[in-house]
């Protein structure tokens, strides 16, 4: 419709190697911007404070406002940003120099920053809140952030295709999300295609409601999530209890059962002195740990970690260990803590 304004193109990150072009309208983008403001208001952010962002495809610099979206409605403090592909020690330098009250970045990048901060003892000053987006949230990240930087974490679930899909409830103590139903229809479906009951895990299928330039009907993102029950906060929006991430970020046992791996907790339990890590499931029964470290893991350290993994995972995987110089980012600029190469051929194809 002409009244929906002009159109523009955006591109998915292509983390699986198949980026997609999405054509959108100005009307659809208006809803995306409104939900950015809703997230700020829900979490009572101080618009006069400084906002920092470590995001994809950013040009390092400063601005007098947070963003054109926020400053169109509210007077804000200054903003600063830097590209997420900048070396992590330089990112920490930037963070200590800029001293933002709010920091926006991806979970994997935040985890790398926390590891560098713990290694060097350098801690940012004046940070009130960290906002994460673009990836599923590792289980220990909230606790690690509170322990090392003393700041709370607020997560959001979004995609290029739809903008904000679900925002973290500000009244929740368990990090649950409210589906943004004014903008997108979200279904969490089991393998049989039926809607999941609260507590059940299923595939995320979305139908954006306002983009008439490129309608997506029951579009499968390739993500898994846990359906949630009604929230006591009174907002009335549907609930997602937890976002588990892409199919390729879920472990798969030889029987074809998929589940979220618990390697973060196993690493915390064993306190391995690794600087960075990535787990690759190469076969239904074999997982390789690639790690960055000044030395090789000892046999005792490998054994302790293998035992911790066996206690936490529902299948006794064989573990293999390999020290590497660096963990490579995905084509979309993300660090992926776990990648399964088993049965992920259809991911990222936008199935209907």
pLDDT in tens, 71-109: 999 999 999 999 988 888 999 999 999 999 999 998 888
* pLDDT exceeds 50 at position 130: yes
CA distance 281 to 318: 10
Query: What mean pLDDT do residues 248-260 have?
Result: 78
Average pLDDT, the chain: 89
As to burial, measured by CB atoms within 10 angstroms (0-12 exposed, 13-18 middle, 19+ buried), residue 45 is buried
**How would DSSP label each residue in 134-159?**
SSPPPTTHHHHHHHHH---EEEEEEE
Q: By the 8 A CB rule, do 68 and 51 touch?
A: no
Q: By the 8 A CB rule, do 282 and 313 touch?
A: no
- The overall longest dimension of the chain from CA atoms, in Å, is 67
Position with higher pLDDT, 148 vs 15: 148
**Percent share of the chain, pLDDT over 70:** 93
Tell me which residue of 320, 339, 317 sits closest to 328, measured CA to CA.
Answer: 339
Q: pLDDT tens for residues 236-249?
A: 999 999 998 777 77
**Percent share of the chain, pLDDT over 90:** 62
* pLDDT exceeds 60 at position 15: no
* pLDDT exceeds 80 at position 54: yes
CA distance 335 to 194: 33
Beta pairing partners, 164: 158
* pLDDT exceeds 60 at position 17: no
Q: Where are the beta strands (DSSP E) in the chain?
A: 7-11, 21-25, 51-55, 61-63, 79-83, 102-105, 129-132, 153-159, 163-168, 177-179, 184-189, 201-208, 219-227, 239-246, 251-252, 258-259, 276-283, 286-292, 318-323, 338-340
Q: By the 8 A CB rule, do 51 and 101 touch?
A: yes
Q: By the 8 A CB rule, do 278 and 292 touch?
A: no
User: According to the model, what pLDDT value does residue 173 have?
Assistant: 81
* pLDDT exceeds 70 at position 13: no
Report the predicted TM-score, pTM, of the whole model to 2 decimal places.
0.80
User: According to the model, what pLDDT value does residue 351 have?
Assistant: 40
Of 54-58, 92-96, 248-252, the poorest mean pLDDT is in: 248-252
Of 69-73, 269-273, 300-304, 343-347, the poorest mean pLDDT is in: 343-347
Neighbouring residues of 284: CB distance < 8 A, sequence distance ≥ 6: 252, 253, 254, 342
User: According to the model, what pLDDT value does residue 346 have?
Assistant: 36
């Amino acid at each position: 419709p002409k009244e929906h304004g002009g159109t523009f193109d955006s591109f998915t990150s292509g983390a699986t190697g198949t980026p997609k072009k999405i054509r959108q309208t100005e009307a659809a983008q208006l809803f995306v911007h409104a939900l950015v403001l809703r997230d700020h208001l829900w979490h009572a952010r101080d618009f006069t404070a400084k906002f920092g962002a470590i995001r994809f495809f950013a040009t390092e610099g400063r601005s007098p406002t947070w963003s054109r979206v926020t400053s169109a409605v509210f007077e804000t403090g200054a903003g600063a940003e830097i590209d997420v592909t900048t070396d992590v020690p330089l990112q920490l330098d930037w963070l200590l120099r800029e001293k933002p009250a709010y920091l926006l970045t991806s979970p994997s990048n935040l985890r790398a920053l926390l590891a560098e901060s713990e290694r060097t003892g350098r801690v940012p000053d004046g940070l009130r809140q960290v906002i994460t987006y673009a990836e599923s949230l590792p289980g220990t990240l909230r606790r690690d952030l509170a322990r090392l930087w003393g700041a709370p974490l607020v997560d959001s679930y979004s995609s290029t295709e739809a903008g904000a899909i679900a925002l973290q409830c500000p009244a929740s103590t368990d990090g649950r999300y409210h589906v943004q139903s004014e903008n997108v229809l979200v279904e969490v479906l089991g393998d049989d295609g039926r809607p999941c009951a609260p507590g059940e895990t299923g595939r995320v299928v979305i139908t954006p409601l306002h983009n008439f330039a490129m309608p997506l009907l029951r579009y499968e993102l390739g993500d898994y999530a846990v359906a949630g029950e009604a929230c006591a906060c009174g907002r009335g929006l549907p609930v997602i209890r937890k976002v588990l991430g892409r199919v390729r970020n879920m472990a798969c046992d030889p029987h074809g059962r998929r589940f979220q791996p618990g390697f973060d907790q196993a690493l915390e339990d064993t306190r391995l002195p690794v600087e960075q890590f990535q787990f690759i499931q190469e076969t239904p029964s074999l997982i390789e740990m690639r790690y960055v470290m000044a030395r090789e893991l000892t046999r005792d350290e490998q054994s302790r970690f293998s035992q911790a993994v066996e206690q936490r995972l529902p299948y006794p995987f064989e573990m293999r260990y390999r020290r590497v110089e660096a963990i490579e980012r995905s084509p979309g600029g993300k660090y992926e803590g776990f990648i399964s190469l088993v049965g992920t051929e259809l991911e990222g194809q936008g199935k209907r």
